[in-house]
Amino acid sequence: MVVLGVVSPQHIIIIPSVPTHQTRNSQYLTRRKALIFTSSSLFSSFMYTSHHYSAATAFQIDQPQQQEDRLVQLFQETSPSVVFIKDLELAKGSNDSTKVLANDENAKLEGTGSGFIWDKFGHIVTNYHVVARLATDQSGLQRCKVSLVNAKGESIEKEAKIVGVDPAYDLAVLKVDVEGDAVKPVSVGTSRGLRVGQSCFAIGNPYGYENTLTTGVVSGLGREIPAPNGAAIKGAIQTDAAINAGNSGGPLIDSSGHVIGVNTATFTRKGSGMSSGVNFAIPIDTVVQIIPYLIVYGTTYKDRY
């Protein structure tokens, strides 16, 4: 706790010379004036100090509330850009996939994940491993259903198609038809200049619980994690913000609400499937170099030739 105090300034009183016969009375009056003046100064100092102590205490009390309000606002502003992804496998012989997707009838839930709206055209960024079944489907029975919120705050469900994938960086782009439904893209930040210790937040759908917020800090930078194709993803962000099954593909956000990474992996105790507090995200500066190529060409620049 910080206590603010005020030290009273030293006052110098200059007493002019007086005749001898007035000395005794003058000394008495001087002492009396000095006593009154000193008492007044101490009283003023006490009042000033007390006033500032109260203000400081009130400020300290308000700080947690302000931080809490800011976090609530941060979630409200960013969560409409986060989507819930379901991997479905249609039953053999299912002809009307639209009806199946609408009610999840005759469809097997293969997995869930997260993603975020990249632009107003309905492109969605997620992890490759979230949609790997659809990307490698040979049977024609794999489908991907996305739950999202439109600009009016209404929950809608759409079938998503794969636009492009990059297994080397565990990234993929989906697209949903947003005709007639305005959507809210994320605010893309930068991972350049991140510092260990700064606050960060993860939004996703762990274990199918939609729009879950977890908080933490940037725990480390420049980490290396394995990619689905066996390569190494370098430069990953380490965080203790909880990332569990279903969080993959969701955004890692800074205190300003800007996306700084794509939540991708966590170390877990064998057999538990639970976050150990050592979690990783692909830095957004890497993502912004890859996603435009996936949207336009369906693959990364290096794989085009």
Among the listed residues 166, 248, 254, 275, the single catalytic one is 248
Q: Which two tokens mark 301?
A: 């620049």
129 is catalytic: yes
Alpha-helix runs per DSSP H in the chain: 23-78, 97-103, 132-135, 284-297
Report the half-sphere exposure of 276 (CA within 13 A, side-chain side).
Answer: 12
Write the DSSP symbol of residue 131: S
118-142 b/e (C-beta count within 10 Å ≥ 16 → b): bbeebbbbbbbbbbbbbbeeeeebb
Among the listed residues 87, 170, 240, 254, the single catalytic one is 170
Encoded amino acid at 207, one letter = Y
Among the listed residues 81, 129, 166, 219, the single catalytic one is 129
What is the arrangement of strands in the sheet containing 142-149, beginning at the earlier edge strand? 155-159, 142-149, 82-90, 107-117, 123-126, 171-175, 161-166
Q: Would you say 112 and 205 are in contact if contact means Cβ atoms under 8 Å apart?
A: yes
Q: Which residues are catalytic?
A: 129, 170, 248
